[in-house]
Amino acid sequence: MAVANAALQIERVSYEDFLEQADEDLYAEWVDGEVIPMSPASKQHQRLAGFLAALLTHFTEAHDLGEVYPAPFQMKTGPDLPGREPDALFVSREHLDRLLPTHLSGPADLAVEIVSPDSRGRDRGDKYYEYEQGGVREYWLIDPIRRHAEFYRLGDDGLFQPMAVTGGVFHSSVLDGLWLRREWLWEEPPPSLMTVLREWKLL
């Protein structure tokens, strides 16, 4: 299973074997014993993913809040749930014990998915309910093609609740003090990291 073609030939594999045998360059998810290779990402997708991962990393480091991991890094929110690779995830300091050498064993405090044409159904369907069931506290679902962003927080009832974007600005509930201008998500290329850090008054 060192390459994608080998992964495709395996009908069923345990999650432990998947983690042990998968090549680090294999971008794939594990669902009900099946290894599902992911399609190559577009330039737009990678730019936005890199931008958001950089913002999250600098904000969390500046406030000593936890750790950020961009894809590919596995997150398995529960024993009976799939192993997914969000485009970025944040783990708070109080949950760093969930981080194992090969994956996050338990929910991230924040998971980010950037929608691509082939992932739209998974991101809005399967992953939405898996992340909700698994206890991800905040979920960002960003569709750069449609210029549409949805933000959810986990309610006391264990269900995702939509979060408001007021005046084009979104404020995170998990990362206290972090905010985003929605227009930043659609700029090509995205704003420079220095520009955002100045607006956040971290420079």
113 token code pair: 């998915």
Superfamily of domain 41-199: tt1808, chain A (3.90.1570.10)
Residue pLDDT, tens place only, 144-199: 999 999 999 999 999 999 999 999 999 999 999 999 999 999 999 999 999 999 99
Q: Determine the Cα–Cα distance for residues 84 and 8; give it in Å rounded to an integer.
A: 17
Residue pLDDT, tens place only, 107-158: 999 999 999 877 666 777 889 999 999 999 999 999 999 999 999 999 999 9
Q: Where in the chain is the domain with CATH 3.90.1570.10?
A: 41-199
**How much of the chain is helix, strand and coil, in % rounded to 5?**
30, 30, 40
